[in-house]
Amino acid sequence: MRARYLSLLILASLYLAAQALAQKEQRQPLTETQIEQIREAGIDPDERVRLYTKFLQEHVDSIKGLTPRIHSGARVKRLDGELQDLTALMDELGANLDQYGDRKADLRKSLKGLTEANKQWLDVLNALPSESGFEISRKEAIDSEKDLADQAGQMLKEQTDYFNLHKDEKGQDRAEPKPQ
């Protein structure tokens, strides 16, 4: 009886330890507050892009702050995590841009801020020293940043052209595109 109780206790402990490890491994690039802010801005595409840009900038600032620190395992692990979070957020923003572009939401203001920030973000990522502990995450972040910069730049150009032709739709959240 006692052995059975001890076995169940050990199994339960192992299960809880595995669950805690799984939760620890699963990264969340945004805080609960940031998630709520994005959720609330969901009805305002321009504000949503501004928020993503702000949160991406916070991750870039963290990376920039970690760069000159003394090389250690903790620093490498933290940089790797920040780079993974940055990549995930850039990919998520890219998916949002696809959705908003399809519905012709006027994002020119936030896209201008995003394209300006992209240049600085790429500089920070390129200045990051190459280290084995986060080199793969660094390369993925650079690739995602370049993709996002290309997407935002192209979308800004397309929107500028579109809204020059359709001045009556300027500043809208959603519209059925008119033939050009």
For 31-53, how does the pLDDT look when each residue is reduced to its tens digit (9 = 90+)? 999 999 999 987 789 999 999 99
- Tell me the per-residue pLDDT of 119-172, one tens digit each, with 9 for 90 and over: 999 999 999 988 889 999 999 999 999 999 999 999 999 999 988 888 877 766
Share of the chain above pLDDT 70, in %: 79
**Residue 155 burial (CB < 10 Å; 0-12/13-18/19+)?**
buried
pTM comes to 0.79
Q: What is the mean pLDDT of residues 109-127?
A: 95
Q: Report all structural domains of the chain as residue ranges with CATH numbers, in order of start.
A: 31-169 (1.20.120)
Mean predicted lDDT score pLDDT of the chain = 85
CA distance 117 to 122: 9
Could you count the other beta carbons within 10 Å of the beta carbon of residue 122? 17
